Structure 1
Amino acid sequence: MSNDPGGIPSPESRIHGCLLGGALGDSLGYAVEFDQIDEIRRRFGAAGLRDFSVLDGGTHFSDDTQMTLYTVDGIVEALEWANSGVGADANACVWLAYLRWLDTQGVPVPEAAPRPQPRWIDGQEVLRHRRAPGNACLSGLATGEMGTAARPVNPDSKGCGTVMRSAPFGLVPHIPADSVYKLSSDAASLTHGHPSARQSAGAFSLIIHALVQGSSLAEAAQAALDRVLGDDDAAPELRERLEAAVRLAGGAGTASVLSPEDLVRELGQGWVAEEALAVGLYAVLATAPRGDGGAADPVEHFREAIAVAINHSGDSDSTGSIAGNILGAYYGTACLPTDWLAALEAPEVIRGMAGQLVAVTSG
């Protein structure tokens, strides 16, 4: 998982970094997910929550990491079939994986729905805890219907449950950006039917894909924004939030990032898809070294970005998860604080799923 001597992360390092980084941002944010900023400051001081060491009673990741790992599992199964010479519907594999996740949450699946065969991930007890799963994710899967863009379940839902689970689509190598976008937005349709929910997931996966291909943070953000702006059918709220995130981060530095109050005023609380993407992306861009040349310490960038992403009145675990995914895909494992990793719940499960994705994509 180490970076090569030239400082360019290996594909293995990017995959592990993205999944572990997302879990770290999710876990720190989960501790304050439902708190207003005044309460966060009361509990942790004026700078808010910035480190695992101040948390009592251990740490946990949320449904965001659970569903991200199940997304990985669906992708891995589709690629296993492909590598054996058998074509498989990737979205059907992801849907079956999500149905298995639904079972871990204690929600019965209708008799008419398929009964997927168990896989390694299903035996990991830590993934069976119920960690505030999104209502639309639960209800969409509980219909037993495989939602599509043409026949959506939850047609008006645009919660952030689509975005927070979609980074893995951008980690699959050797497929074009348009295919990444389609895979991600199609998978979003399994639970959420609103255009912004689907398009925000697609845009997020494009950012991860661009970073894995070697783009800078600014280039990856611009590529996703250009894709949205060039789509006549793009949800206007997604255009607005993404444009604002890139614009507001353009002149920022760690000394001039938005206050938590201004962040929410400009970009939203993150409970819906386009807001979660905008907040997570802004946090990464606004704390990046000027010029995005990577000269700053990756670990410090990670710490600062996660602090911005989670310290606000809103969906702190999802915005933290998105920021962590982005930075892990960009820097690889080099950005992950060792003391944070030591505090992370069940890192062996996350590494296990990362290893499976590496194995099926490195042949």
Structure 2
Amino acid sequence: MALTVQPADGAAVRRAERLSRVRGLLLGLALGDALTRPDQPGSGVLLGTPTTQLACFTAEGLIRALVRSDHRGIGPSPLAIWFAYRRWARAQGIPIPRSIDHSGWLHRVPALRERRGDAPSVVAALKAGRDIAPDPAAPTSGGHHALSPRLPLAAVAAPAGWTAEVVTTTHGDPDAVRATLTAVDLARAALGAPTMPAVLRASTDPVLDDARDLGMPLARLAPDHTAVSALRGGAALAARCPGPEVIADTLYAARELPVPGAVGPLAGALLGAVHGAERLPVELVARLEVAWAVDTLARDLVAQVEDRPGGSEYQQAPDRHWWSRYPGG
């Protein structure tokens, strides 16, 4: 008797594809950050920088903001991400005013408590901050840490004003804010686009005009540590990757640029979002120091958006551990 194969459920297929791409976004960010670190050893564990650490706390803060929204009946607050950065500071041993209590699980990951470099503008904002986010007009930095740590925001349909509020807690330079908004929009487009050129074509920001020119030297697109360099160089580098089989080579090539650490995270995030986690180089992802934490956050972010494991104001939580992992209070 012949067996009848049932067609795949369309919703399940879309869910699996979405999960693959969000995982690719976060893991690609971490991979791009690690492979462009100039002092990275040739073998062994791949260490990240504060870019990856802060991106992890952005994702965690975003999940907690969504949990709080489900239970309080109000929109997700950008302050949840500011408090996440304060938890990062405490885990790092950075003295900040009115230290915040540890909660959730992310602060317990040993690699996220280790100093992996500097994020001076973020640290300065945290040291000067209050229990709530500082005056958005106060921080004026335009460095690339305005951009890369905020890329997890692409996984949700957040308005530009919401994202801008997150950015201006630590970086108030208008060009940096605009570059970050464009980068998040690019990453969001990459989660549904078939190719990187299609992602670039979808953007109307004129700051990317030169990045679309494949003949433009990358060093001219990304000459410094600014968020604008990170946007132009990261987008152009990702667009020049001919296929997923050379993602590693593409990211390694960024080491020749003046500021590889500004360019690598966005390029890796875009390539991971377009191709999915399964197309990232397994032999390198497996060496990432924070791979488990990053992948867990990506999976949990999709679960929160799709399934609401923590329940809501009117529904009991399907996952009894969710609230302790992502307190929304």
Superposition TM-score tier, normalisation by shorter sequence = 0.7 to 0.9
Match of 1:245 in 2: 211
Once residues 82 and 13 of structure 2 are traced to their aligned partners in structure 1, the CA distance between those partners, rounded to angstroms, is 39
Are residues 1:307 and 2:273 paired? Answer: no
In structure 2, the partner of 1:199 is: 178
Q: Is the 8 A contact 1:270 1:277 kept in 2?
A: no
Distance 1:68 1:151, change over 3 A: closer
Question: What code does the residue aligned with 1:299 have?
Answer: E
* Counterpart position of 2:35: 28
- 1:12 counterpart = 2:41: no
Matched with 1:351 is 295
CA contact (8 A) 2:226 2:262 kept: no
Shift of 1:15: 1.2
Decide whether aligned partners of structure 1 residues 222 and 180 sit closer, same or farther in structure 2, where only a CA change above 3 A counts: farther
Change (3 A) 1:193 1:134: same
In structure 2, C-alpha distance between the alignment counterparts of 1:89 and 1:116, rounded to whole Å? 21
* 2:196 and 2:239 in contact (8 A); partners too: yes
Structure 1 unaligned blocks of 5 or more = 33-51, 230-238, 253-257, 289-295
1:281 to 203, 211, 235: 235
Assess, with a 3 A threshold, how the Cα gap between structure 1 residues 282 and 119 changes in structure 2: closer, same or farther: same
Equivalent position amino acid for 2:235 in 1 = L
- Residue 63 of structure 2 aligns to which amino acid in structure 1? V
Contact 2:192 2:274 in 1 (8 A): no
One-letter code aligned to 2:209: E
Greater Cα shift, 59-68 or 339-348: 339-348
The answer to whether residue 32 in structure 2 is matched with residue 60 in structure 1 is no
Deviation at 1:219, TM superposition (A): 3.1
Residue 95 (str. 1) matches residue 82 (str. 2): yes
Q: Give, in whole Å, the separation in 1 of the partners of 2:224 and 2:154.
A: 21
Could you say if the C-alpha distance between residues 24 and 243 of structure 1 is closer, same or farther in structure 2, counting changes exceeding 3 Å? same
Change (3 A) 1:263 1:191: same
The amino acid across from 1:303 in the alignment is: A
After TM superposition, give the deviation of residue 21 of structure 1 in Å: 1.1
1:12, 1:358 within 8 Å by CA — same for their partners in 2?
Answer: yes
Structure 2 unmatched ranges of 5 or more: 1-10, 308-329
- In structure 1, what is the Cα distance between the partners aligned to 2:138 and 2:76? 19
Compute the displacement of 1:323 (Å).
0.7
Deviations 1:60-93 (A, max 9, x none): 0111110111000111001112233532542110
Q: Provide the aligned C-alpha RMSD in A.
A: 2.6
- Out of 108, 121, 144, the position equivalent to 2:129 is 144
CA distance in 2, matches of 1:164, 1:130: 18
Tell me if structure 1 keeps the 8 A contact 2:79–2:133: no
1:79–1:18 CA distance, 2 compared to 1 (3 A): same
The 3 A distance-change label for structure 1 pair 180 and 304 is farther
Verify: 1:189 aligned to 2:179, yes or no: no
